[in-house]
Amino acid sequence: MKILLVYPKYPLTFWSFKYAVKFISKKASFPPLGLLTVASLLPPEFECRLVDMNVRRLRDEDIKWADMVFISAMEIQKESVKEVAERCHHFNKKIVAGGPLFTTQPYSIKGIDHLVLDEGETTLPMFLDDLSKGTLKRLYTSKIRPDISNMPLPKWSLIERKKYATMLLQYSRGCPFNCEFCDIAYLNGRIPRTKSPDQVIRELQNLHDMGWRGSIFFVDDNFIGNIREVKKMLPHLIEWQREHNYPFSFLTEASVNMAQDIELLELMSGANFNKVFLGIETPNMESLKECHKYQNVGMDMVAAVRTIQNYGMEVMGGFIVGFDSDKENIFENQIEFIQRTGIVTAMVGLLNAIPETPLWERLEREGRLQGEATGSNTDGTINFIPKMDKEELMIGYRKIITTIYSYREYYKRIDTFLRNYRPTYRSKLKIVDIKAFLRSLWKIGILSGARFHYWKLLVKTMLLRRKALPQAIEMAIIGLHFHRVARTLEKSNPSW
């Protein structure tokens, strides 16, 4: 059987890094790890092809070739999914769909023939068994949480690795916390399940043997969700890195309480982690309590961020406005916190209610829901009636975005970050890095409105913080992307 795996296109967002990846001659930031894992779970006699629409367009010939089309997607890819479904049915191809979008909203897309939901290690074998018997059903679902230590290696041969900026590896699934707005507890459970250290090393060795060098993203819901197990794994990671002369740098998602564990920070730094995304959400303690983000309550967030930065890791932060407890000063408070901590990559979004979350259920009970979320909390839309006047909320959100991604404030944050940052990770200068730097000289240093700030940053870093020069250049490049997305967001929301 011929299986075409399709990963739908992302719209322009802060996280797409569309304008930034061009500097390093890449097409997309990340490959579709979910589909590559699904491909490895299919019988060996199945012939598979994969089309990532973020790398190349889906051709009619691709669809005609297939016996079945498999789609995996997140909510933000919904419009692209609709287009793919229409095109596949034009050629009378059966569509099998799974992933977060379909698990939380199984019937949101017309024309899907079979829904293989929840975790594929459990539900895909059910589908394959019925396929072999000729008794396929519409829906396959299970709340059994599989043991991910038995997962096969992703089928990396299906993609062109050179078209991506970063490779992906999943160490664990699940998060012990239950933030009101988050769907992770529904999708992957609250008890983190981990892979064995040997399995992680095997995946790294596989990527190394394929010739990959550079960045790897641990795509866990919360990398430190099971701190005891991650501390057992990291020494193995450090040893492997040392033996192979540190071919990889790592980034991941975690919770702010990592700042309270010095042993953990030392291990992550030693393994060559150089970036971590934290769900900070808000400096307003009442809003943190409202959304059940108790792990952040009572913590000195500024000190926590600086502690992590001092261990050689850039803190990327997620922030939200629109909580019921937010007052009119929340916008200035968010800006002040982001600038003071030097969180250069600050994703500030409007609160939105995602299906199957406690927030969705509460707002539904209160009669405040207004349609579906777009999946992008940074597009200036909201799908419920906020307690704050909606116009005031929109004006305040616009102020945050236009302020923190103005060139002046953005470069101020870079300077603040570099003053607190203690570079510890090891990296080798590659030809692609040199090309990106030379392109930045022209595209940012000459053509962009950031040229004054860019040259000031470049000279100051070379004179005072030479070891941090690669980070400074990378941040300048990413800043160009953020600025352009912010401008696009302004133009698409004329009511602002």
CA dist., res. 61 & res. 68, Å (int): 13
What are the phi and psi torsion angles at 361 (to 5°)?
Answer: -65, -40
Q: Is the pLDDT of residue 384 over 70?
A: yes
* Same-domain status, 194 and 173: yes
Strand, coil or helix: what is 283? Answer: coil
* Same-domain status, 444 and 316: no
* Same-domain status, 154 and 135: no
pLDDT tens string 285-326: 999 999 999 999 999 999 999 999 999 999 999 999 999 999
* Same-domain status, 375 and 253: yes
pLDDT tens string 101-122: 999 999 999 999 999 999 999 9
**Predicted TM-score of the model (pTM):** 0.96
Residues 256-264: what's their mean pLDDT?
A: 97
* Same-domain status, 185 and 319: yes
* Same-domain status, 294 and 211: yes
CA dist., res. 65 & res. 426, Å (int): 45
pLDDT score at 491:
80
pLDDT score at 495:
59
Residues 439-468: what's their mean pLDDT?
A: 96
**CATH classification at residue 291:** 3.80.30.20
Q: Which two tokens stand for residue 102?
A: 């379909």
Q: Is residue 183 part of a domain?
A: yes
Q: Is residue 192 part of a domain?
A: yes
CA dist., res. 464 & res. 408, Å (int): 20
Whole-number average pLDDT of the chain: 96
Q: Is residue 424 part of a domain?
A: no
pLDDT score at 496:
58
pLDDT score at 203:
98
**CATH classification at residue 69:** 3.40.50.280
* pLDDT band with cut points at 50, 70 and 90 for residue 494: low
Residues 230-253: what's their mean pLDDT?
A: 97
Q: Percent of the chain at pLDDT above 70?
A: 99
Q: Is the pLDDT of residue 27 over 90?
A: yes
Q: Which two tokens stand for residue 260?
A: 């309270």
* Same-domain status, 129 and 211: no
Q: Is the pLDDT of residue 377 over 80?
A: no
CA distances from 156 to 39, 44, 203 (A): 9, 15, 11
Domain end residue (candidates: 140, 158, 181): 140
Q: Which stretch of 129-133, 149-153, 237-241 has the lowest confidence by average pLDDT?
A: 149-153
Q: Is residue 272 part of a domain?
A: yes
CA dist., res. 153 & res. 41, Å (int): 9
Asked if residue 294 lies in contact with residue 288, where contact means CB atoms within 8 angstroms, the answer is yes
Domain end residue (candidates: 354, 385, 419): 419
Whats the size of the chain, residue-wise? 496
* Same-domain status, 217 and 69: no
* Same-domain status, 341 and 433: no
Asked if residue 30 lies in contact with residue 217, where contact means CB atoms within 8 angstroms, the answer is yes
Q: Is residue 405 part of a domain?
A: yes
* Same-domain status, 134 and 168: no
Q: Is residue 17 part of a domain?
A: yes
Residues 17-26: what's their mean pLDDT?
A: 95
* Same-domain status, 383 and 281: yes
CA dist., res. 167 & res. 329, Å (int): 40
* Same-domain status, 8 and 115: yes
Q: Is residue 136 part of a domain?
A: yes
**Strand ordering across the sheet containing 47-52:** 47-52, 2-7, 68-72, 94-98, 114-116, 139-140
pLDDT score at 322:
98
Domain end residue (candidates: 419, 445, 475): 419
Residues 83-94: what's their mean pLDDT?
A: 97
Domain that holds residue 87: 2-140
Number of domains in the chain: 3
Q: Is the pLDDT of residue 38 over 90?
A: yes
pLDDT tens string 171-229: 999 999 999 999 999 999 999 999 999 999 999 999 999 999 999 999 999 999 999 99
pLDDT score at 490:
81
CA dist., res. 403 & res. 397, Å (int): 10
